[in-house]
Structure 1
Amino acid sequence: MMIKISPIISLYRFNTSIVQRCKPKQIISRHLSTKDHSYLSPYVQLPYSYAFGRSEGNVIYKTLGQLMDERAEKDSGRPFIVSHHENLKKYYGDFYEEINHLAMAMHDILDIKRGDVVGIWSGNVYDWIVIQYACLRLGAILCTANPFYQSFELDYAIRKGEMKALFMPGKQSRQDYVNNYAKIIRETLSNKFENEGLPLYLKNIISIDGERYEENYFPSILQIKTFELNKLKQFKKEMDRSLIEAVMPDDPAKIVFTSGTTGKPKGACLSHFTLANNVSIVMKQFDVIGEANCCLPLPFFHSFAGVLGNLMPLAFPESQIVIPFLKYNLREFVESIQKHNVSFLFATPTLAIDLFNYVARKNYQLPTLKAVLAGGAAVPEETVYQFKATIPSCTDFRIGYGATETGPGLTGNRVDTSDADKAQTVGQPLDFIEVKIVDQTTNKLVKIGETGEIHTRGHNVMIGYWKEPEKTAKVLQNGWYNTEDLGTMDERGYIKIVGRSKELIIVGGENVYPREIEEVLHMLPSIEIASVVGVPDERRGEELCAWIKYRENVPQESHEQLREFCKGKLAYFKVPKYFLTVDDFPMTPTRKQQKFIMQKMSIEKLKLKPKKE
């Protein structure tokens, strides 16, 4: 069933089970329109910064399990996935059989039911996707854990999600060079972190590869049972249709932890409805219609690759996903693009910079690569131009914007967007999504061109933070999610990100947005990455500190020369007082800068007095 939304009427979500609208809409039975470049401009409520993504398409009110069945009926013989580092290729029909067998094994053997939380703690392997799809079939909630977690962090994820089962690398796993999984899981389940008891709800540990763990490897009080994934996938039992039919579109599908760029991760809970529409609408807006070999170098535990990447073939059956590596490796990355004729790439700004630098240094050619979808952080305008110059076949470099809490898509640039708008903005609201920019103090709409906080409402918004109602209430009110990002909107609905509200720096009473300074510094050809944070100052409250990573084998400016360069382009209070030359930045596993750590490190390096709370 799909719900037709008229162009200007908004879609509101007030709770986990009800989608309320201004008035009833016609129920129709066709998929999203795939007319090439048939786009409606967003409605913009001039002179204020409010826009709504109009569309000739439809919102899909189905579960992901239903979409899997539809795909199987139409084209089970098409290639579905290639794992370059595992030397593996799967067609959808074989994959569909595997996920059904695993889903029934999870139900009958592991006692996993609709609404139970299942954890996965692993790197990017083929079976990660098998496990995700099997959970979605059953209505189990997949809780994704960072494969680099250590025992304290893993304990937090297990407890926060209240995992009933955990899929992870087994003993003697080929993933052991990424992390010491066997040691960490034993430490995690043998300790009582934060004076809490042991997680008695965890009943099953399943080895994705390697050897099965002996059950006496864990504390006997937990009574944990252990299994091997390959044996569970051999459970030859037909899929029980009643299990799929019991799952509802508004049911929780995934718990995805936020990146931790500003502190301890929170578990964003996303529904089947959110995921189904996000992948369909985002990828349609980015023109992924027809055949496309899409490379996924980003970690699956995050929503960018774990939703838009892994679920994409459900919305666009002619597409195929390519997994390049287990652990970040530029050589394998380039090899996978060349060998599998990759035409579409998911990337973060850091990954894009690494790729074009590596290709230029090695003099490699990537003639099949046509388009890039970049997100996860602000993309410097210079990066876009450098990437396209280094890889001339890539004529389309799109920048999207969103958050874990928005499933993850929120805005995007369309195929007919000008190069200037693609480089300077994050695009317009996606179909059926509302975006408004409000004053941080009054919460009232600001006028076009004025800076404010970005809020959004629509099919993309999470149910809430898992088991954290107070934190949910702080960011989610009347269906509006507060991104805590600062931005501006123009009269066409194009949005430009200025920075994080938590990254706003106040210098002598003047508001300073780091991205403006970073863009100026990126004008210098010697600078690969520039990032600005605020540090305490007794006189002015805060001062600016710029972290600079220079390119290799090029002349480098002195810190004084950088300061003089900024003086010629910025107001005096926006000129950094401090510069730090670095080789790298503290990053999350999704390659986002952790500015709160950079700020602490800056204070230590500069021997400044920390700001009093």
Structure 2
Amino acid sequence: MTLSLACTLAESARRFPKQVAVIEGEHRVSYEELWRQARSLAAGLRELGVQPGDRVALLCPNTVDFPRAYFAILGAGAVVVPVHLLLTADEVGFVLTDSEARLLVCAAGFAEVARQAGAATGVPVATLGEEEGRGTRLEDVAAVVRPLASYEPRQAGDPAVVLYTSGTTGRPKGAVLTHLNLVMNATVNSFDANGLGRDDVVLGCLPLFHTFGQTVAMNGAFRCGVPLVLQPRFDAAAAIELMLRENVTVFLGVPTMYLALLEAAEGRAELPAPRLCISGGAALPVPVQERFHATFGVPVYEGYGLSETSPTATVNQPDLGNRPGTVGPPIWGVEVEIARPDVDDRIELLGPGEPGEIVVRGHNVFAGYLNRPEETAAVLVDGWFRTGDIGVKDAEGFVSVVDRKKDLIIRGGFNVYPREVEDTLLGHPAVGQVAVIGVPDERYGEEILAVVVPSEGAERPGAEEIVEWARERLGRHKYPRRVEFVDTLPLGPSHKVLKRELRRQFAQA
């Protein structure tokens, strides 16, 4: 069966040619024009030797060049390897080598890092938008050849994108996602879960090199043929202005973005009123959901997924009800269950209300880790993907994520789930953000440490006050004995809190 992820753009260009596809500042590009430009760049890739099945790395921010190049690579029948923008040249080089990339396509602003990585690995570099005389420009190559007539046909099970995981332990791994994985996830998110319509406008402030922004925002918008408004770098105050100016109806973000929007909203007379707000990437505390609903007048629908699940596995949905504190039921066509976490060689499912490891089966589950058969076999067991997350599922199918298996704190033999402690601490009026981690302790094995960012404008509380607040509201084995105050929490490129960095920072203290 042939299927290409490129059809998400090609079909909308055929059906809605004059509809605006991408808005970037004052720049507007129609579906017809965007697909023409992608086909032109695809022909340029062919001239540079890219063949169907080759892997092509893409280093580009949230500008119109990202979808142009992304769909050019897919249109040529190649596999996209998105590279996140915060990597050093050495780290980019690792991705190039590990993915066996045939070419690195980069935006002009990242040319220096790209060339350093390319020189170290022997991978050629083609730039987008850079002035002439500075190496190979993909547009120049494309300008002298005829655009491809259409996209190269691929098999549904062929690789479409290789997404490198954040690598919480050791080197990152390339998750291989197929055309079927990504076409289905964009389709199900847009039509079944989110109910996008012809009048919707999607804000693309999530990094497009990351799975959430790429699949749910960009591919989801293109699947429906609606405008995608790009914000090259997230800024909450600017995002509010952008939503007002472009009449954005759908906002997709991670918890730190929702917190930033709440801070930016203080004192403003006019706020946007999107019809749909979706959170993913990390746990969104219930108090934050409640504050956002009260401030913006719209509920937040929390979902759950991973790079390996394309990404969406579950999500609260307008048609099925919203239950804050849960990540909703499984999306259409996907099974999500809870399995015994201590059994590695097989899947033993648990009943409703029993905590265990979240496992996923369906059209969204990836093909495996690139060139890592042993690590693939460890997570793909009995047809299920083992997520490494601990959760519970109620009798009506709504899933709650308790915590990461890796983030679980074991204090004196008792399991402590950081999310529960964080949700409690966020109820303190002086706590703006918090991350709870385990640090080594001679007596208990691990001790509970709360890293707190005070609320803006609030007087900084004492550590003893925070400890006492938690002690009154949590079990004796759960409340933090240590509190550290910081100005900001370390964030990864997808705006997740990097708890490994906090553990490294405070483990020796």
**TM-score category of the 2 structures, normalised to the smaller one:** over 0.9
Give 1:236-251 correspondences, 5 Å limit: 236-240=145-149, 244-245=152-153, 247-251=154-158
Which of 363, 380, 398 matches 2:285? 380
Q: CA deviation at 1:227?
A: 2.0
Distance 1:549 1:397 in 2: 23
Whether 1:414 aligns to 2:295 is: no
Question: Hey, what does 1:158 align to over in structure 2?
Answer: 96
Distance 1:602 1:213 in 2: 49
The C-alpha deviation readout for 1:376-419, integer Å capped at 9, x for no partner, is: 00000011111122222xx2311110001100010011104445
Distance 2:433 2:357 in 1: 26
Question: Hey, what does 2:42 align to over in structure 1?
Answer: 103
Distance 2:182 2:113 in 1: 31
Q: CA deviation at 1:159?
A: 0.6
Question: Hey, what does 1:78 align to over in structure 2?
Answer: 19
Q: CA deviation at 1:545?
A: 0.4
Q: CA deviation at 1:482?
A: 0.7
Give 1:174-323 correspondences, 5 Å limit: 175=109, 181-191=110-120, 199-200=121-122, 202=123, 204-212=124-132, 214=134, 226-240=135-149, 244-245=152-153, 247-284=154-191, 285-317=193-225, 319-323=226-230
Question: Hey, what does 2:33 align to over in structure 1?
Answer: 94
| Residue type of the alignment partner of 1:302 | H
Query: Is the Cα contact below 8 Å between 2:237 and 2:261 reproduced in 1?
Result: no
Q: Secondary structure at the match of 2:434?
A: strand
Greater relative CO (CA pairs within 8 A, separation 6+): 1
The C-alpha deviation readout for 1:172-227, integer Å capped at 9, x for no partner, is: xxx3xxxxx44433443455xxxxxxx34x2x31111223564xxxxxxxxxxx42
- Answer with 1 or 2: which has the greater Rg: 1
Question: Hey, what does 2:54 align to over in structure 1?
Answer: 116
The C-alpha deviation readout for 1:144-181, integer Å capped at 9, x for no partner, is: 111121122111111111111111133xxxx3xxxxx4
Which of 413, 423, 426 matches 2:327? 426
Query: Is the Cα contact below 8 Å between 2:356 and 2:392 reproduced in 1?
Result: yes
Question: Hey, what does 1:44 align to over in structure 2?
Answer: none
Question: Hey, what does 2:69 align to over in structure 1?
Answer: 131
Whether 1:143 aligns to 2:143 is: no
Distance 1:110 1:253, change over 3 A: same
Distance 1:273 1:418, change over 3 A: closer
Q: CA deviation at 1:494?
A: 0.4
Distance 2:244 2:284 in 1: 25
| Residue type of the alignment partner of 2:221 | P
Distance 1:67 1:399 in 2: 25
Whether 1:352 aligns to 2:254 is: no
The C-alpha deviation readout for 1:512-547, integer Å capped at 9, x for no partner, is: 111111111111122111111001111111110011
Distance 1:334 1:233 in 2: 37
Query: Is the Cα contact below 8 Å between 1:461 and 1:481 reproduced in 2?
Result: yes
> TM-score scaled by structure 1?
0.79
| Residue type of the alignment partner of 1:360 | E
Distance 1:212 1:157 in 2: 27
Q: Secondary structure at the match of 1:113?
A: coil
Query: Is the Cα contact below 8 Å between 1:101 and 1:235 reproduced in 2?
Result: no
Q: Secondary structure at the match of 2:292?
A: helix
Query: Is the Cα contact below 8 Å between 1:437 and 1:489 reproduced in 2?
Result: yes
Q: CA deviation at 1:499?
A: 0.4
| Residue type of the alignment partner of 1:104 | A
Q: CA deviation at 1:577?
A: 1.1
Q: Secondary structure at the match of 1:544?
A: strand
Distance 2:282 2:132 in 1: 39
Query: Is the Cα contact below 8 Å between 2:402 and 2:420 reproduced in 1?
Result: yes
Whether 1:522 aligns to 2:423 is: no
Query: Is the Cα contact below 8 Å between 1:139 and 1:251 reproduced in 2?
Result: no
Query: Is the Cα contact below 8 Å between 2:440 and 2:446 reproduced in 1?
Result: yes
Distance 2:446 2:284 in 1: 25
Moved more, 289-298 or 479-488: 289-298
Distance 2:321 2:179 in 1: 34
Q: Secondary structure at the match of 2:507?
A: helix
Distance 1:357 1:521 in 2: 18
Which of 305, 308, 332 matches 1:405? 308
Runs of 4+ in 1 over 6 A off after TM superposition: none
Distance 1:584 1:569 in 2: 25
Superposed CA RMSD: 1.9
Question: Hey, what does 1:14 align to over in structure 2?
Answer: none
Q: Secondary structure at the match of 2:198?
A: coil
Distance 2:321 2:325 in 1: 10
Query: Is the Cα contact below 8 Å between 1:457 and 1:480 reproduced in 2?
Result: yes
Q: Secondary structure at the match of 2:155?
A: coil
Distance 2:58 2:147 in 1: 24
Distance 1:382 1:233 in 2: 51
Give 1:593-604 correspondences, 5 Å limit: 593-604=497-508
| Residue type of the alignment partner of 1:248 | Q
Whether 1:435 aligns to 2:355 is: no
Distance 2:281 2:13 in 1: 32
Q: CA deviation at 1:487?
A: 0.3
Query: Is the Cα contact below 8 Å between 1:259 and 1:590 reproduced in 2?
Result: no
Q: CA deviation at 1:235?
A: 4.3
Distance 2:302 2:73 in 1: 31
Query: Is the Cα contact below 8 Å between 1:356 and 1:390 reproduced in 2?
Result: yes
Query: Is the Cα contact below 8 Å between 1:141 and 1:253 reproduced in 2?
Result: yes
Whether 1:330 aligns to 2:236 is: yes
Query: Is the Cα contact below 8 Å between 1:286 and 1:398 reproduced in 2?
Result: no
Distance 1:129 1:68 in 2: 9
Query: Is the Cα contact below 8 Å between 2:359 and 2:384 reproduced in 1?
Result: yes
Question: Hey, what does 1:557 align to over in structure 2?
Answer: 461
Query: Is the Cα contact below 8 Å between 1:98 and 1:233 reproduced in 2?
Result: no
Distance 1:71 1:183 in 2: 35
Which of 467, 479, 488 matches 1:584? 488
Question: Hey, what does 1:370 align to over in structure 2?
Answer: 275
Distance 2:235 2:507 in 1: 32
Query: Is the Cα contact below 8 Å between 1:261 and 1:595 reproduced in 2?
Result: no
